[in-house]
Chains A and B, each alone.
Chain A
Amino acid sequence: MHTDAAAAPSRLAHHFPDMKTQEHAARMGMWLFLSTEILLFAVLFTAYAVYRFLFPQGFDEASKLAHVAMGATNTVVLITSSLTVALAIHYARLGENRKVVGLLGVTILFGLTFMVLKGFEYHHHWVDGQLPGRLYHYAGLQGPGVSMYFTIYFLMTGLHGLHVLIGMSVLGWVAWRAGRGEFGPGYSTPVELSGLYWHLVDLIWIFLFPLLYLM
């Protein structure tokens, strides 16, 4: 197989016959990994469905306590960051590494914005005592299923926030590699795969936002 002749020899691991196979393997591994991530979240989505079914009124009332404006802003922020990461992949394939650095930097800033806004939301909930399970002590709303909403809310957004942080770190590392001019027509897999991960993190948020804030 003939890929980029300059990049291939140094990137090719000894146990692969050619770069094409190696990149195919890497992509496939990433997709499988993403499927495990979806199943990790699936447990929480299942719990959400079960408890929403058991406590329709409690969930309905508790979800009105969510800060919709910040949640909506965060949705826009994350969707925009998907665009910047997609552009980064485009320019990585063209070998324009400086643009890759810039776009990934912007993506990380979007991630940071998301986390800061999320932090404000958490702070408000914390101050108001809108916390999971036995920690819940908000006098303004009591009733069956209300504390369960916040259990699910903090578990889902907490796990998602952790993924945003991991995604930012991975993108930071890839941006550093782009800064060394590593990517080009023959080699852009790390940008593509970290971009895939970032898209998944966005996609999960797109499901979390309506379920937790709007319904």
Chain B
Amino acid sequence: MSPSPASSPAYNTPNYLNAEKGVRSWLTTLDHKRIGVMYLGLTLFGFFLGGVFALLLRLELLTPGPTVMDAMAYNRMFTLHGVIMIFLFMIPAIPGIFGNFFIPLMIGAQDVAFPRINLLSVYLYLLGAVIAVVGMIQGGTDTGWTFYTPYSTTTVTTVAPVLLGAFILGMGSIVTGLNFIVTVHTMRAPGVTWMRLPLFVWAMYATSVIQVLATPVLGMTLLLVAFEKVFGFGIFDPARGGDPILFQHLFWFYSHPAVYIMILPAMGVVSEVVQSAARKNMFGYKAVAFSSLGIAFVGFFVWGHHLFTSGQSTFASGVFGVLSMFVGLFTAIKVFNWTATLYQGAIQVSAPFVYFMGFLYFLVFGGLTGIALSSVSLDVHWQDTYFVVAHFHFIMVGGTIMAFLAGLHYWWPKMFGKTYSERWALAAAVLVILGFNATFIPQFLLGNMGMPRRYYSYPEQFQALNVASTAGASLLAFGFFMILFYLVASLVRGKAAGPNPWFSRGYEWNTPSPPSLANFPETPVIDRGPHEYQDGPAAEVKHAH
């Protein structure tokens, strides 16, 4: 009972957006789609805040010496930028928005397993975000997002509120992950076997495992820092026998897997986008599905590569270095499968596809520099330089944000039932990719020349590349505003998208756009794998009755 494209003038039919009206109906909603939309608004606001601080950092670095702020203000700015981008955008964005919205649609369920806990996660996010941001601004926190002891426990600035905020944000992250794991295990519609799960669901499942298993460790560790800072418990204080390196181990035990919380959902998004854009099934479905689990697993055994210069034994560093390279192995499996999927595909060049290509390039470039960084001898040269900053941003901004934008454009018609201007979208995609390159390629060069990170000033010979980087950041910001502009325009006056504008075979396109409150009129029965383009373009689904 697939709705035909003609029968769906968006917003005239009952859907999850117009089923109930008023602010109150949103604040108390248990609908996974509305919760996804709330996450969209909240995390985009976080992204905007973090972006503003990023631009201020780049502005300061336009000239050697003080440009618009002093050293202390600069330290506060990069702390704000890091904490906001990581805890308010990178970690919650794709799971919160697309995970919530699409996992139930992709497994034929009416909702996630625990809708009330799902709503709770939004409020935990909001509470944690307010405490963290207000605490940082009021207290002038200057530790960086890593809160390294003993600096974080001895600095004169206030640190406890942001630690508490991050703890609460972590709780939100845990319950989201817990919810998704149980949802995938228990809510699959008849016919949705594990080997028929869309690859986005597989990636989110692997992500959720990391969220559930790693986040409690960070939460406890941050509380320990707060106890130390406020009450002088001495647990990381060398003067009282405490070991600051223990903090680094505990912190990275979460925070390294956390980068896979950020990139695995992105890999899931592009796995969907590439199949739709190439009109082909994934070249190796099982390889892509299991490599997500592989990354989640190996990700727990590589944290020591953050401690190469911290006094960890050479042997341990060597082991962590080799283990880190396994991540590259699983990632390469994915990269080859995505490219093989494109081979002989009927490629539609669209905004999601352009972002996918950007993602592929950034991931490979950033990933290869990651392999280089995981070898101890090379890392000692690059440690704490802009080379690491550039590597990290290539994966996180270049990888995750490209995939986020790919997913946003791909699923926008499904989420809001409207089309956006394809011409504007393509122009913005090109701008964003160019701006991104211009921002971070100079940073690779600067880092290799020895420019250290986290300083507000630098020697004069580094200025040309810094100016290039700042110019690139401005271009990037301009691109993001363009996207905001045409997406808002699409909401206001976009044409009805119809249920399946991409002629995708993904299960989620079997619903009207926007989907109805109950998702499906009856529990769907799935009798084919995800996509399966060889069976023809039209999506179809049988219903139990």
Binding site for B on A (CB under 8 A): 13-17, 21, 24-25, 28-29, 32-33, 35-37, 39-44, 46-47, 50-51, 54-55, 58, 132-135, 144-145, 147-148, 151-152, 155
Q: Is the CB of B216 within 8 A of A25?
A: no
Residues on A with C-beta less than 8 A from B183 are 25
Stretch of B226-234, B285-293, B527-535 on the interface side: B226-234
B217 within 8 A of A: yes
A50–chain B nearest beta-carbon distance, Å: 6
Q: Does B512 contact A (CB under 8 A)?
A: no
A135 surroundings in chain B (CB, below 8 A): 231-232
Max chain B Cβ within 10 angstroms of own Cβ: one of A32, A40, A135, A148: A32
Complex partner residue of A147 from B115, B220, B241, CB under 8 angstroms: B241
B174 within 8 A of A: yes
- Verify A15–B224 contact, CB threshold 8 A: no
Judge whether B231 and A47 touch: CB under 8 Å. Answer: no
Interface presence of B84 (CB below 8 A):
no
> Cβ of A33: which chain B residues have Cβ within 8 Å of it?
178
The contact sample of 24 A-B pairs, CB cut-off 8 A, is A15-B187, A16-B187, A25-B114, A25-B186, A28-B181, A28-B182, A28-B186, A33-B178, A36-B174, A36-B216, A39-B213, A40-B217, A43-B221, A43-B224, A47-B224, A47-B235, A55-B241, A132-B231, A132-B234, A133-B232, A133-B233, A144-B241, A147-B234, A148-B242
Contact of A47 among B215, B246, B523 (CB under 8 A): B246
Residues of B within 8 A of A (CB): 109-115, 117, 174, 178-179, 181-183, 185-187, 212-217, 219-221, 224, 227-228, 231-235, 237, 240-243, 246, 250, 523
Main SS at interface, chain B? helix
Specify which of B182, B187, B233 is in contact with A151 (CB 8 Å cutoff). Answer: B233
A54 x B178 contact (CB < 8 A) = no
Q: Do A14 and B235 have beta carbons less than 8 Å apart?
A: no
Residues of A close to B235: CB separation below 8 A = 47, 133, 148, 151-152, 155
B181 CB contact (under 8 Å) in A14, A32, A145: A32
CA distance A55 to B242 in the complex (A): 11
Q: Which residues of B contact A58 (CB under 8 A)?
A: 241
Residue from the list A16, A36, A145 in contact with B212, Cβ < 8 A: A36
Chain A residue contacts of B214, Cβ below 8 A? 39
Extra contacts, 6 of them, besides A15-B115, A36-B215, A40-B216 (Cβ < 8 A), are: A24-B186, A25-B113, A28-B185, A29-B182, A43-B221, A54-B243
Check if A29 sits within 8 Å of B114, measured CB to CB: yes
Q: A39-B216, A132-B231 are in contact. Are A29 and B178 (CB under 8 A)?
A: yes
A14 to B185, CA, bound (A): 18
Alpha-carbon separation in the docked complex, A54 to B489 (Å): 63
Which residues of B sit under 8 angstroms from A147, Cβ to Cβ? 234, 240-241
Report yes or no: B227 in contact with A155, Cβ–Cβ below 8 A: yes
User: What's the Cα separation between A13 and B110 when bound, in Å?
Assistant: 11
Interface SS, A side: helix
The CA of A29 and the CA of B181, in the complex, are separated in Å by 8
Contacts of B240 in A (CB 8 A): 133-134, 147-148
Please name all residues of chain A whose beta carbon is closer than 8 Å to the beta carbon of B174 when the two chains form the complex: 36
User: CA A9 – CA B213 in complex, angstroms?
Assistant: 35
Q: Nearest CB to that of B239 among chain A residues?
A: A134
- Closest residue to A55 on the B side, CB-wise? B241
Q: How far is the CA of A13 from the CA of B116 in the complex (A)?
A: 11
Q: Are A21 and B186 in contact (CB under 8 A)?
A: yes
Chain B residues near A40 (CB-CB < 8 A): 216-217, 219-220
Most chain A CB inside 10 Å of its own CB: which residue of B186, B216, B227: B186
User: Which residue of A has the minimal Cβ distance to B214?
Assistant: A39
The answer to whether A133 and B523 have CB atoms under 8 Å apart is no
Q: Given contacts A36-B215, A43-B220, A55-B241, are A134 and B232 in contact (CB under 8 A)?
A: yes
A residues within 8 A CB of B109? 15
Most chain-B CB neighbours within 10 Å: which of A21, A24, A148?
Answer: A148
Chain B residues, CB < 8 A from A32: 178, 181-182, 212
Closest partner residue, chain A, to B113 (CB atom): A25
Nearest CB on B from A34, distance (A):
11
Q: How far is the CA of A15 from the CA of B523 in the complex (A)?
A: 10
- A49 → chain B closest CB, angstroms: 10
Known A36-B216, A40-B219, A43-B250; judge A145-B241 contact (CB<8 A): yes
Shortest beta-carbon distance from A211 to chain B in Å: 16
- The one of A25, A28, A35 in contact with B213, judged by C-beta atoms closer than 8 angstroms, is A35
Partner of A51, one of B110, B221, B232, B241: B241
B255 CB to nearest chain A CB (Å): 14
Closest to A38 in B: B216
- CB atoms of A37 and B216 under 8 A apart: yes
A65 to B109, CA, bound (A): 57
CB distance from B34 to the nearest CB of A (A): 14
Interface centre among B113, B114, B212 (most CB of A within 10 A): B113
- Residues of chain B lying within 8 A (CB to CB) of residue A39: 213-214, 216-217
